[in-house]
Structure 1
Amino acid sequence: MKNTLKLTAALMLTTTAATAGGIERGGNNYSVLFEEGNYVALSFSSVRPDVSGDYPATLGGGSTDNMSEDYTNLGVALKYELNEQFDVGLFLNQPYGANADYTAGAYTGLGADWDSNQVALVLKYQATPNISVYGGVRSVESEANIAIPDALVRGGLAAAAAAGNAQAGALAAGAPAGTLGYTAETDANRETSYIVGAAYERPEIALRVALTYETGYTHTFAGTESVPAVPTVSGTSDFEIEMPQSVTLDFQSGVAADTLVFGSIRWAEWSVWEVRPNGYEALTGGGRVTGIDDDVTTLRLGVGRKINDDLSVFARVTYEDGNGGEASRLSPTDGSTAFGFGGSYTYNNVKFTGGLEYVKLGDATDASGVEFADNSAIAVGLTVGYQF
């Protein structure tokens, strides 16, 4: 079964990036550390989400239209064998992202973008023929921008007034139309976190179990906020956004001749993540722009089959449980189920891995009663690996 391991080891994580929790879009494929010899892989994925909701009568009815924009990810992974016991891995990718833009109905003008770039360096030590440990650092640079239209800010102030905040009511009543729109932009900020992992292998049966821990970190953004009607809110100040720690268990094992079962269980502490710029918090009396209330656990299970020495195929299912509660307007889905399939073809020292994934996104309702249902995403991915 050793050849099965060689042909299908990269199928677990390299083909698509449509089903990660929170605002995750991809990460470091640590299975590259277990490739034979020296290895470099270039990966590309394209995701087309279709996320829309229906406004209640109190917001005028009708559809939000698709509020989630298409996106692509590029990645590079390099594994270099220093000697028989030590290997080093270098990873470049875009781990986090968001692109929300409402163009219809009451939420028109609401939008947000989050962009990131990651560099990670990992050292792997083969302690015994079956046990290895690895660790390293990752450096992530992120930046974001947010736009909230006048009508939504004004509605939020009116709700605060109804709850007894007289100052919010006076502001909502006194500001001319169109002057309560809120925008915020951040400068890019780079922070560092750490990676620790261990793996157990039995190549004769294509078995590998690997446990990886990535520490969380905190971005400190310099943000420029603006609300035309409230000069005291407009200006530049620093605010923090905490990013999640995570634990991932990856596994694979041969179960029959030329057949491999693989999967992963990943927990990420997304409950710590919220966007709460200083000016917006002051304007709304403690409100946040967006956030995630619960941690996210992602389960994946698949099977790979070797067709011949050059070709293998796979299918997999990925699941995230919904948590219920009010959805964020900037991420209005709750859980997901994804079905993917693809294959890997080897030509001399070059390995091509491709896949297609369909994602059924969970239904959700936001605080204003907008119902987001029957939404989905389509993702395609391609990785080209070269062994040298």
Structure 2
Amino acid sequence: MSRAISTILGGALLLTSVASAAQAGGLERNGYNWDLLFDQERFASEAGVIYVMPDRKIKNAVDTNPLNGTGSDGIGGGATSVDETPNYTVPRFGAKVGLTPEADCLATYSQPWGVHTNPGYDWVGANENIETKIKSNDYGLTCSYKFDMTKGYVRAIGGVSYQEVSGFKRRLVNGLLAQTPFAAAGFDGTGLLDLEADGVGWRVGASYEIPEIAFRASLIYNAEIDLGQINGTVDLTEIPAILAGPTGNPFVGQVTDVYGTATMPQSVEFKWQTGIAPDWLAFGTVKWVDWSVLQVVAFCPTVTKSLGSCGPSSPFRLTSLDLMFQDGWTVSAGIGHKFNEQWSGSAQISWDRGTSTGLTTQTDTYLLSGGVAYTPNKNVELRVGGAVGVLTAGSFGPTDCPGNQPCGTEVTYDFGDDFVSALSISGKVKF
């Protein structure tokens, strides 16, 4: 591949990453990225970070469950409009080695999944959510083998990942507590779910490449990752144990070990690129992610494990993460151009179908991104990019969930067309 095409492609790949992080359907933060595997040099390493600034605002919130107190003070207090999503950072690292002229391997670290919502305590929907945060670590190894064709070559691709997932959710369990003497004693009526799990997944795919014209078409399937047993705790020590009473909730006033099960989604991604004129490159992506595998993730006391499985209809269910995602689709297309021997730029438009069915604010996202790549010499490349977009409007409210358990019954609210932006910087060394 010529240096000119490599420079243009550098900016194009940057846009794929920044767009993925800014759109973030389901629990996606940056998904999977194996582009470094295709680098023509024998050794290449890359590190980067993306900073995303979503401006999602909740408005017209109404507390719909008076049984646990209406509003964060138990009598209707609290805001009806709040900022939901804090800014977040997504790092990534990869190192690729050509073992032979035909065989290459890529080691990666990424944070493919994550979410952070933090509307806070002082709003009327605190019984639904005060703060939720999920994070992940993925350690991957992906290898390929090239087979020469009459023109170009075909590459067979396969790999594995070890993945860690952890997080927490805090919400107001007893809002009426704010109107009792217990509040003055420091009890705030909240409950906290902590969780952690890990699992192993695999991927397989193929590509057809013609380096002379920068043509590549690749299709990669990432298998689902079974997290097995998710271990965690439910902390209800912010509610006095005396309130449980002889027939009340026996878990009030203590920390309880819990367990659940979940699977991170499978995905299929098709990418293409081709030179279309001297110093010009076109590229695009179509990706499907099976987010509907995450519906209601139930958690039961660990001591009940021998009595039956823990699911949405389990009589032992203590709490749950109610997600009810639908499958996600992402479509993007862009163009890149070389300006001179050191500089190139790229622009891309993309659409992400929202994964929400009524229990999250993850609706359709439209994004415009741009970036530049600077190559001072053949061994170093620096990239800077940014994106702006629209998070489309929607609403939150009661949703039918499996197991005859109603979801989203604590609060209703709306959200409008909100702004999202992102910045990205990365560096690459190759030889």
Band of TM-score, shorter chain: 0.7 to 0.9
- The alpha-carbon deviation at position 327 of structure 1 amounts to 3.2
Q: Deviations over 1:268-292 (max 9, x none)?
A: 0000114322269669979743213
Q: Are residues 1:370 and 2:375 paired?
A: no
In the other structure, the counterpart of 1:351 is 381
Q: Are residues 1:68 and 2:85 paired?
A: yes
Q: Deviations over 1:87-136 (max 9, x none)?
A: 11011111111111112421246211111111100111011242111111
In the other structure, the counterpart of 1:25 is 29
In the other structure, the counterpart of 1:197 is 205
Contact 2:62 2:80 in 1 (8 A): no
Q: Are residues 1:303 and 2:335 paired?
A: yes
Q: Residues 251-270 of structure 1 correspond to what in structure 2 (within 5 A)? A: 251-270=272-291
Q: Are residues 1:118 and 2:138 paired?
A: yes
Q: Residues 282-321 of structure 1 correspond to what in structure 2 (within 5 A)? A: 288-321=320-353
Q: Secondary structure of 2:37's match?
A: helix
- The alpha-carbon deviation at position 362 of structure 1 amounts to 1.6
Q: Deviations over 1:308-355 (max 9, x none)?
A: 122110110110134674232xxx131101110111110111101111
Q: Are residues 1:276 and 2:276 paired?
A: no
Q: Secondary structure of 1:5's match?
A: helix
In the other structure, the counterpart of 1:342 is 371
In the other structure, the counterpart of 2:69 is none
Q: 1:250 aligns with which of 241, 249, 271?
A: 271
Q: Secondary structure of 1:327's match?
A: coil
The amino acid across from 1:24 in the alignment is E
Contact 1:9 1:31 in 2 (8 A): no
The amino acid across from 2:156 in the alignment is V
The amino acid across from 1:79 in the alignment is K
Q: Alignment identity in percent?
A: 25
Q: Secondary structure of 2:419's match?
A: strand
TM-score after normalising by structure 2: 0.78
Q: 1:89 aligns with which of 106, 113, 116?
A: 106
Q: Secondary structure of 2:167's match?
A: strand
Q: Are residues 1:327 and 2:359 paired?
A: yes
Separation in structure 2 between the aligned mates of residue 80 and residue 198 of structure 1, nearest angstrom: 18
The amino acid across from 1:278 in the alignment is C
State which drifts further: 38-47 or 58-67: 58-67
In the other structure, the counterpart of 1:142 is 165
Q: Deviations over 1:121-152 (max 9, x none)?
A: 01110112421111110111111111121368
Q: 1:182 aligns with which of 160, 180, 191?
A: 191
- Per the alignment, do residues 387 and 285 of structure 1 end up closer, same or farther by CA in structure 2, a change over 3 Å counting? closer
- The alpha-carbon deviation at position 202 of structure 1 amounts to 1.4
In the other structure, the counterpart of 1:5 is 5
Contact 1:28 1:91 in 2 (8 A): no
Separation in structure 1 between the aligned mates of residue 328 and residue 224 of structure 2, nearest angstrom: 14
The amino acid across from 1:6 in the alignment is S
Q: 2:49 aligns with which of 31, 44, 50?
A: 44
Q: Secondary structure of 1:358's match?
A: strand
In the other structure, the counterpart of 1:159 is none
- The alpha-carbon deviation at position 191 of structure 1 amounts to 0.9
In the other structure, the counterpart of 1:164 is none
The amino acid across from 1:231 in the alignment is P
Contact 1:49 1:377 in 2 (8 A): yes
Separation in structure 1 between the aligned mates of residue 294 and residue 271 of structure 2, nearest angstrom: 25
State which drifts further: 109-118 or 3-12: 3-12
- The alpha-carbon deviation at position 264 of structure 1 amounts to 0.4
Which runs of 5 or more structure 1 residues have no equivalent in the other structure? Answer: 155-175
Q: Secondary structure of 1:370's match?
A: strand
TM-score after normalising by structure 1: 0.86
Contact 1:14 1:43 in 2 (8 A): no
**How many residues of Structure 1 are paired with residues of Structure 2 in the alignment?**
362
- Per the alignment, do residues 283 and 336 of structure 1 end up closer, same or farther by CA in structure 2, a change over 3 Å counting? farther
Contact 1:20 1:298 in 2 (8 A): no
Q: Are residues 1:235 and 2:256 paired?
A: yes
- The alpha-carbon deviation at position 181 of structure 1 amounts to 3.5
